[in-house]
Structure 1
Amino acid sequence: MTKPKKDVKFQHRERRLSRGSDSPTEGRSTSRANGAKSPVRNGHPTRPDYGRQDTGMTEGWATEDEKAPQPTAQEEYAKKKQTFITRTIWTLVMIAVFFGAMFAGHIYMIIIVTALQIVSFNEVIAISNVPMRARSLQFTKTLNWYFLGTTMYFLYGESVIYYFKHIVLIDKVLLPFATHHRFISFMLYVMGFVFFVGSLQKGHYRFQFTQFAWTHMALYLIVVQAHFIMNNIFEGMIWFFIPVSLVITNDIFAYIVGITIGRTQLIKLSPKKTVEGFVGAWLFTVLFGFGMTNILMRYKYFICPVNDLGANIFTGLECVPNPVFIAHTYQVPFVPPNWTHLPTTVQISPMQFHIFVMATFASLIAPFGGFFASGLKRTFNIKDFGDSIPGHGGITDRMDCQFIMGFFAFMYYQSFIAVYRASPGSVIETAITSLTPEEQVEVVKLLGRHLVNQGQLSAKALADLGEQFRIAMK
């Protein structure tokens, strides 16, 4: 009985040891080779780590032929050179497209912002998808895009109705959509919500609810904030270009100052960011903001709100400039009366004070949008959000600070700079929503008489208009 038992044990050991080498003791640990007993864990013998060495998990098994060859210095230099060329080419392409669209007209910038909005949403949604699980769930991606479309319909509709009331509210087809826009948007969202609940499948609840929450976070962080960037374009090109250029300038000088005198690490999420670069970039960004604003204020194409989507840099725009762009005389404080050689007053536009606040936000707060994106990428263990731009990564990697900066610029403009005057669109909206058709006709007649008295309309034209009203009311 004992001999077969010993043979079985011997054959078993030989078969396991053959994985490491031909020698019975070569593949074993030092303690086992010296005759020591196997380690015991919780009263049970543990399985020896045969055939492995202390140098790593894979090196103990790999042969010299299986190890990946290390690139030579020449190959590494060629790779870096190609990456630099690619980044440079696409940087110039993006700059050309940006300025070309800005000079071509506001509608082209809106198209670009919309495209960036969609691509960024797709990149953020993609990093959370689990392909093996999503493959068995037919409507996961469909719902993502449905909620995107619903959100964009609501936000874009709000902007169009607000800025183009004088066009939308007098159109017979568009009027019902304008007056019931929010209800329509709400019902579209409710339909998506009901469809999501109906699509829940047993065994996938956690994944589906995670996707639902992730989609809504992406909608808020990207789509909603990009919407306010589009509103900045409607308010005037300067409110779009200045915030964007401030972020870019701050990023450039943070890198230059950081590699020049940077010593102190700023935040662990971005190890290359330094305190010196952070502060130095703020100073350069403020100076750039003062200079660029002083140039753009001279052109109505940049400071006028959009009243003609067909306008471009050559046709220009006409408007009454916002008082913030008009220079005011300010008394210089703390000037001793005996120092007559120093000026006691200074003439400067209020916009320069506002640009200081914007430049400070772009330098000290907006970078945290980039830090947030860095933390998100570290969470999913990815280097970039995508590869939409060759050599630069994804669109989201370039827009992480722009979204929060554009949101801030809109809120700051509406709170401290915007001038609220009665517009034809607002008057028409009040008349349509608050007056009966008979009262609306009476308003037109009274307005016609006023125009006749001012010499803007002939009495005959007013009489013909009144006759047309009488015919229409019968």
Structure 2
Amino acid sequence: MAKSRNGVKFQHRGSNGRARRPSMSISEYSENASEPGSPTRNGALGKTDAETPAAPLQTEYEKKKQSFITRTVWTLIMLGGFFSALFAGHIYIIIIITAVQIISFKEVIAISQIPSKARSLRFTKSLNWYFLGTTMYFLYGESVVYYFKHVLLVTRLLTPLATHHRFLSFMLYIIGFVFFVASLQKGHYRFQFNQFAWTHMALFLIVGQAHFVINNVFEGLIWFFVPISLVVTNDIFAYLCGITFGRTPLIKISPKKTWEGFLGAWFFTIIWGVGVTQILSQYKYFICPVNDLGANVWTGLECTPNPVFVPQKFTVPFIPPGLPIPNTYTIKPVQFHVLALATFASLIAPFGGFFASGLKRTFKIKDFGDSIPGHGGMTDRMDCQFIMGTIAFFYYSSFIATHNTTVGGVIELAITGLTPEEQLDVVRILSKNLVAQELISPKILEYLNMQMKR
């Protein structure tokens, strides 16, 4: 070994006697190294790293303690923000969902980008965000038009946007598609098409599923809160049961998961689901579909409750007469549905987490990002929530929703399917019916008859 001083590089000789180039010199190794006699960054004259006392290293216990404190503080912050938004109104929950999907999309897109290529292809990131904006415009528009058509279709400015929403959304997408094809550069085709496919996968898995979560909010906050709480409960008890009873590995892609934790979490998730549903189903603020985005927990909502929230009598068969066991019980039908949702949260939703684990292993990363201190990325926390929200929406639509004619549906048919003269005739007939019930003045009907004669 050749000695060196004042920034001269060390040299190590191998078995062949040749000097091997070192990976770093003293001056490169230390940010505080300087020429003799010159001031260093910490203000000491002629002081090198060898003379500067090193900062004490944290012990493993101190690291775990700091991590626990950080996770706990941010968990409380997130819980406080979530429940504040839940009680403040539907619009604040929608804002949170929007922020979650944007952050998650950013994290998923980032892990597939090669920085050098992303910098040389200046439109790559812009196209990613353009497709995100286009998809959100389409999906949010679909929800708003469906649930608030009775407002949009009677506003002159918004009617064209509502009636032609899908065509406008598709044309916006086509603009991005054409721009992508025009931006293809020789030598970068593989990278650009990989980005195009990756972006669309992220849009489908994140933004598409977040759309159904927002629809759950519009259908009633109970269909938003209960699925979320089921996943959280399942995650907590899977961990507790796993460390307490876990012995049998569940799936190779996630080696810490055990069958004991999996089944134990299922049991406790059902118990939680039954309890929280019994409480929330008593309040119209949670069970009523949204008809006023300005409503909050203090103003409440008014509606005719869905039949699943009305208690009914159920008779248990196969109980022999004479036993001191009642065979008739009064139960809200929603309790049977929550058993199915709890089962989905326990047996299906975890596979969203397994999918995310496989994705991270593919790219050799621990977390999707560091958006939430102590918890990793937003995607790490929401991987199961997206798929659970989608399951809840389709289950609700198939087995719970009441498909009655709505005011918005009638107005949509009248505006899009009838001529102005036919619309006026419908109004006249409805007015005649209302006059007969003494709900409006006969003068209104006289005025409409005069308009029909013109």
Pick from 234, 253, 257: which aligns with 1:250?
A: 234
Residue type of the alignment partner of 2:407:
P
- Residue 207 of structure 1 aligns to a residue whose secondary structure is helix
What residue number does 1:462 align with?
Answer: 445
Looking at structure 2, the residues matched to 465 and 92 of structure 1 have their Cα atoms a distance apart, in angstroms, of 60
In the alignment, what sits opposite 2:123? 139
Any idea what the Cα deviations from partners look like across 1:8-50, whole Å, max 9, x if unmatched? xxxxxxxxxx9654xxxxx43xxxxxxxxxxxxxxxxxxx798
Which residue of 333, 338, 352 maps to 2:335? 352
Residues 214/70 of structure 1: CA separation in 2 closer, same or farther (3 Å cut) = farther
3-state SS of 2:257 partner: strand
User: Hey, what's the Cα distance between the residues in 1 that align with 2:55 and 2:344?
Assistant: 44
Instruction: Write the distance in 1 (CA, Å) between the matches of 2:158 and 2:113.
Output: 38
- 1:68-95 superposed Cα distances (whole Å, 9 cap, x missing partner): x999896322222121111111100000
Residue 195 to residue 449, structure 1, CA distance change in 2 (3 Å): same
Letter in structure 2 aligned against 1:358: L
Q: How does 1:15-94 map to 2 (within 5 A)?
A: 20-21=12-13, 27-28=14-15, 75-94=59-78
Alignment pair present for 1:275 and 2:282: no
1:387 aligned counterpart, secondary structure:
coil
Partner of 1:394: 377
Q: Normalising to structure 2: TM-score of the pair?
A: 0.88
Work out the CA distance in 2 between the residues paired with 1:74 and 1:218.
38
Shift of 1:338: 3.6
State how far apart, in whole Å, the 1-side matches of 2:437 and 2:109 are. Answer: 60
2:28 aligned partner: none
Corresponding residue number in structure 1 for 2:176? 192
Q: How does 1:129-208 map to 2 (within 5 A)?
A: 129-208=113-192
* In structure 1, C-alpha distance between the alignment counterparts of 2:204 and 2:58, rounded to whole Å: 46
Q: Indicate how the Cα distance of structure 1 residues 198 and 445 shifts in structure 2: closer, same or farther if over 3 A, else same.
A: same
Distance change in 2, residues 1:188/1:49 (3 Å): farther
Compare 265-274 and 397-406 and name the one that shifted more: 265-274
Match of 1:124 in 2: 108
Amino acid aligned to 2:246: G
Distance 1:73 1:353 in 2: 55
CA distance in 1, matches of 2:60, 2:329: 57
Cα deviation, residue 121, structure 1 = 0.3
Q: C-alpha displacement at 1:463, in angstroms?
A: 2.4
User: What is the alpha-carbon distance in structure 1 between the residues aligned to residue 437 and residue 254 of structure 2?
Assistant: 66
Give me the whole-angstrom Cα distance separating, in 1, the residues matched to 2:241 and 2:285. Answer: 34
Letter in 2 for 1:433: T
Whether 1:300 aligns to 2:290 is no
Secondary structure of the residue that 1:346 maps to in structure 2? strand
In the alignment, structure 2 segments of 5+ residues that lack a partner are: 1-9, 24-48
Aligned to 2:412: 429
* Deviation per residue, 1:187-239 (Å, 9 max, x gap): 11111111101100000000000000000000000000001000000000000
Deviation track 1:242-275 (CA, whole Å, cap 9, x = no partner) reads 0000000000001111111111111122221111
Tell whether the 8 Å contact from 2:101 to 2:210 is kept in structure 1 after alignment: yes
Q: How many residues align?
A: 418
- Give the gaps of 5 or more residues in structure 1: 1-17, 22-26, 29-47, 53-57, 59-64
2:316 is aligned with 1:323:
no
- 1:295 aligned partner, one-letter code: I
Q: How does 1:359-438 map to 2 (within 5 A)?
A: 359-438=342-421
Partners of 2:238 and 2:265 within 8 A in 1: yes
What corresponds to 1:229 in structure 2?
A: 213
Dislocated runs of 4+, deviation >6 Å: 48-52, 69-73
Give secondary structure in 2 for the equivalent of 1:263.
coil
| 2:326 aligned partner | 343
Q: Distance in 2 between matches of 1:50 and 1:360?
A: 67
Which is worse superposed, 203-212 or 186-195? Answer: 186-195
CA distance in 1, matches of 2:342, 2:380: 21
Q: Is contact 2:431–2:444 with CA below 8 Å preserved after alignment? A: no
Of all paired residues, the percent bearing the same amino acid is 68
Query: Cα RMSD between the aligned structures?
Result: 2.3
**Most deviating of 456-465 and 191-200:** 456-465
